Amino acid sequence: MGKKDKKTAKGRLDKFYYLAKEQGYRARSAFKLIQLNKKYNFLEKSRCLIDLCAAPGGWLQVAKKHMPVSSLIIGVDLVPIKPISNIITFQEDITTDKCRSTIRNELKTWKADVVLHDGAPNVGISWLQDAFSQAELTLKALKLAVEFLNKGGTFVTKLFRSKDYNNLIWVFNQLFKKVEATKPASSRNVSAEIFVVCRDFLAPKKIDSKFLDPRAVFKEVEIGPVNKPIDVLHPEKRKRQREGYEDGNYTLYKEISVLDFINSDDPIQILGDVLGKKEFKNLLKWRNIVKEKKQDPSNENDENSTKNNDEKVDEDQIIQDELDKLTKEKQAQLKRLRRKANEKRQKNVVRMQLKMISPTDIALESSGPDGGDPLFDLKQADKTGVLRKIRKGDMDVILEQDIDDDDIVIEDQKLLKDKDEDNEDNIDIQFEDELDELYEQYVERKAERDVKYRVRKMRKEYEDWNGIQKSESSDDNDVKFVHPQDDSSSSDNDSELESDSSNELKEEPTKKKKKLLTNISESDDDSKVKMAGGLSKKAELFFDNPLFKDSKKIDVSDIKDGVTKSNGHSLKRKADDIGEDANDDIEIVPRNKDSDEEMWDANEVDEDEKKMMRAKEIGLITAEAVTLAQQLVNRQKTKYDLIDEGFRRYTYNDREGLPGWFLDDEKQHNKLNVPVTKEAVQAIRERMKALNARPIKKIAEAKARKKIRVMRKLAKLQKKTDAIIETSDMTEKEKANTISKMVSKAQNKVKKEVKLVVAKGSAKGNKGRPKGVKGRYKMVDSRLKKDAQALKRVNQKVGSRKRRRK
């Protein structure tokens, strides 16, 4: 298997892989033991543990973490285990005597409280072979467990579901009081592994050697179920990859002669062996047809011949009755399961509404009692596309999913489904409705919390509204503005239009297409403007304003928009129609574009992103932010907690229309008190200190350096001047001149010399510092250097001539 394949196969890098990495476990399997221990609590009360097949050491790490300090933990594996402090590990095959004696030596007088076994033999030859080796290895582990366990001790082992499974469970039951098989959530669904936790070791004085002898234990498998009648309708269908084909039979096609069937003592067994689901159904259908024909009077003649077959029919009848009984039982069981699942879901919804749990908790918590898949996992369903299919009404996916996910579910569910489709449909529709309802509730709740979502929704509504306006304006015929005393034809048109519009509204209520026409005569009477097109109450209240009181018939869409120009046909035309009086009554308020934009500020949506970018650029700058970040990282809080906490009395502080002085006051005193931790404050302080200290330190250092330089210079000067003063060779005047010269020279800044470096050959294009050049330098070409030297020479000559003339 290529590297790439391996990574993606079985979704290897799942959440437990990353969790293991994050929490420092050597293997994701560590979570299996964590989950088993969470359920059965055996590690905390143990003082001595043996882990058989322990490499790379994930289970050992978990054991060390959960067992009391200074417990004795021993790990053994075929491959070396990287040392873990305070844990004894060694490399050995657990099936050997050497391993046994090594464990004995390590334990000395102790006995183990827990023996773990997560062994997986080198798999890959064939599934059946693998499963058998695994079962055999388990038996060997059990042998060691029996030898080293204390009375009342616990043995945890991994098993594959195979035909040997039941035999092993039987053996466990002989040696332990409680035996439970479970599949932790971290165990992949695609894996056939299952974990058996055997508690309360009975420690019998004498153990029948057959219990631990693979030949004796696994031999019984073949003898066991032979006499058990096969449930033909619900055959225990095995998944191909899990258990492989039956021994010696590698095809799906089976044939048996009618004679064999007739002569057989156990016809049901034969049917179960030979027939598949489809064939069995066909056979039953055929039987029904034959039966109907038999009841048909036209076939009375055949009665005699049928009588001869009475015996056979009786037998069929028995089978049919039995099948019906089984079907009913199964159906009832299925219903019970669904009811339970529904009840659980309802409970979760209530708990979620009470904020007792978050959706994540439900997803984690609703892992079945055996640690199986969550029963109601919208996220998962959404990811896999199942939810989409369910929404479309395809309930098959639920059953398919169940069958796929739950390894223990046998495929007869599908057969049941085929047979009782009508009953199933009812249940499915109910189930679908419930799912829809739950999902809507979920979306609704999510939407309520999500401010961004609301802003987007409102914006969309606003755009929809604008869209309608535009489409109406583009269609001149849609806009009518009519005087009450209009001629009959026009009023006819009106009524036609109104009825049209109402029809349209009835037909397309969701399109919100509004022919917002108002009968002014009505408004005259009632002093009210009535809106067609189902305006919201808010809008109705708005249009109840006396402003619209005396208007005759008003196109509300135009009023809302305040449009004078864009709907060229609208107000001017309406004014003409209504006449001067009506025109006077309408005050046209131009639309304030800015205010609209302010209301639906698109940037508002990106505000969070901006903050995120800022946080990324300069880090978290408030103690509150650092506290939250720490809590998130330490898992003291979840994302959902933060969202929940966002809903408080400060959430919807509407500032609109409040006086300025009040807002100022609020700004100063009405502040949300977000709790901060000491550590967060400390972290922020440290950062500020570091920020402050950086430039100051540099400057201080530079200043200090300068000061030292000056002091040195002064000290030198002092020495020189002292020497000059003490000399007797100079006059007082000469001494003073020399000292003042020295001081002025010391004060003059020393010009740093810039060295000219001639770029030659390969160095011409070289931009870096040339070799062997220290201090300031300037790259020049040879010409420039020669010119500079020539200039220097000329200056020197001129200078010397002048001096001579003087």
Ligand X SMILES: C[S@@+](CC[C@H](N)C(=O)[O-])C[C@H]1O[C@@H](n2cnc3c(N)ncnc32)[C@H](O)[C@@H]1O
* Member of 36, 49, 50, 54 binding ligand X (CB under 6 A): 54
Q: DSSP for 516-570? A: ----HHHHHHHT-PPPSS---HHHHHHHTSGGGTT-SS--HHHHHHT-SSSSTTS
Q: Which of 158, 163, 515, 574 is catalytic?
A: 158
Cis preceding-peptide flag for 546 (omega within 30 of 0): no
- What gap in Å lies between CA 728 and CA 116, rounded to an integer? 102
Which two structure tokens, joined as six digits, stand for 131?
Answer: 């499963």
State the sign of the Cα–Cα–Cα–Cα dihedral 202, 205, 209, 212: positive
Interacting span for ligand X (CB under 6 A) from 113-121, 213-221, 372-380, 584-592:
113-121
Which two structure tokens, joined as six digits, stand for 594?
Answer: 């800015």
Residue (57 or 235) nearer to ligand X, CB:
57
158 is catalytic: yes
Q: How far is the CB of 191 from ligand X (least distance, A)?
A: 11
Interacting span for ligand X (CB under 6 A) from 115-123, 280-288, 559-567, 630-638:
115-123
Q: How far is the CB of 139 from ligand X (least distance, A)?
A: 12
Residues 222-251 that bind ligand X (CB under 6 A): none
The verdict on whether residue 59 carries a ligand-binding annotation is yes
Residues 59-88 that bind ligand X (CB under 6 A): 59, 77-79
Residue nearest to ligand X (CB): 58
From residue 519, give the alpha-carbon distance in Å to each of 494, 523, 550, 584: 10, 7, 11, 18
Q: Give backbone dihedrals phi and psi of 683, rounded to 5 degrees, phi first.
A: -60, -45
Which two structure tokens, joined as six digits, stand for 113?
Answer: 């409280």
The residue to which tokens 């339970």 are assigned: 340
Residue (58 or 374) nearer to ligand X, CB:
58
Q: How far is the CB of 54 from ligand X (least distance, A)?
A: 6
How many positions of this chain bind ligand X (CB under 6 A)? 22
The identity of residue 198, as a single letter, is C
Nearest to 518 by CA among 488, 497, 492: 497
Residues 664-683 that bind ligand X (CB under 6 A): none
8-state DSSP, 199: E
Interacting span for ligand X (CB under 6 A) from 90-98, 386-394, 511-519, 547-555:
90-98
The verdict on whether residue 77 carries a ligand-binding annotation is yes
- What gap in Å lies between CA 81 and CA 91, rounded to an integer? 7
Q: How far is the CB of 196 from ligand X (least distance, A)?
A: 15
* Member of 46, 49, 58, 395 binding ligand X (CB under 6 A): 58
Residue (25 or 172) nearer to ligand X, CB:
25
**In 68-190, which ranges are E strands?**
72-77, 88-91, 112-117, 149-160, 176-182
Residue (131 or 232) nearer to ligand X, CB:
131
* Member of 120, 169, 190, 547 binding ligand X (CB under 6 A): 120
8-state DSSP, 635: T
- What gap in Å lies between CA 400 and CA 405, rounded to an integer? 8
* Member of 93, 231, 450, 504 binding ligand X (CB under 6 A): 93
Distance from the first to the final alpha carbon of the chain = 100
**Rule CB under 6 A: is residue 779 a binding residue for ligand X?**
no
Which two structure tokens, joined as six digits, stand for 425?
Answer: 């449909």
The verdict on whether residue 75 carries a ligand-binding annotation is no
The verdict on whether residue 428 carries a ligand-binding annotation is no
Which residues have CB under 8 Å from 260's CB, separation 6+? Answer: 270
Residues 738-777 that bind ligand X (CB under 6 A): none
Residue (55 or 395) nearer to ligand X, CB:
55
Residues 135-194 that bind ligand X (CB under 6 A): 137
**Rule CB under 6 A: is residue 121 a binding residue for ligand X?**
yes
* Member of 46, 95, 154, 157 binding ligand X (CB under 6 A): 95
- Cβ(552)–Cβ(578) below 8 Å: yes
Q: How far is the CB of 157 from ligand X (least distance, A)?
A: 11
* Member of 20, 46, 57, 374 binding ligand X (CB under 6 A): 57
* Member of 36, 49, 50, 55 binding ligand X (CB under 6 A): 55
Which residues have CB under 8 Å from 210's CB, separation 6+? Answer: 216, 217
Task: Characterize the bridge pairing of strands 72-77 and 149-160.
Answer: unpaired
The identity of residue 795, as a single letter, is N
- Cβ(766)–Cβ(759) below 8 Å: yes
Nearest to 197 by CA among 438, 371, 64, 21: 371
* Member of 31, 119, 387, 548 binding ligand X (CB under 6 A): 119
* Member of 34, 73, 94, 159 binding ligand X (CB under 6 A): 94
Residue (119 or 153) nearer to ligand X, CB:
119
- Cβ(48)–Cβ(112) below 8 Å: yes
Residue (58 or 372) nearer to ligand X, CB:
58
Which residues have CB under 8 Å from 666's CB, separation 6+? Answer: 658
Run of H or E residues at 193: strand 193-201
Over the window 13 to 52, marking each residue x when it contacts ligand X by CB under 6 A and - when it does not, the resulting string is -------------xx-xx----------------------
- What gap in Å lies between CA 76 and CA 145, rounded to an integer? 13
Residue (26 or 417) nearer to ligand X, CB:
26
Interacting span for ligand X (CB under 6 A) from 53-61, 197-205, 362-370, 696-704:
53-61
Residue (57 or 184) nearer to ligand X, CB:
57
- Cβ(141)–Cβ(175) below 8 Å: no
The residues of the shown chain that bind ligand X, judged by CB under 6 A, are: 26-27, 29-30, 53-59, 77-79, 93-95, 118-121, 137
Q: Provide the annotated binding site for S-adenosyl-L-methionine.
A: 57, 59, 77, 93, 118
Q: Provide the annotated binding site.
A: 57, 59, 77, 93, 118
Active-site residue set = 158
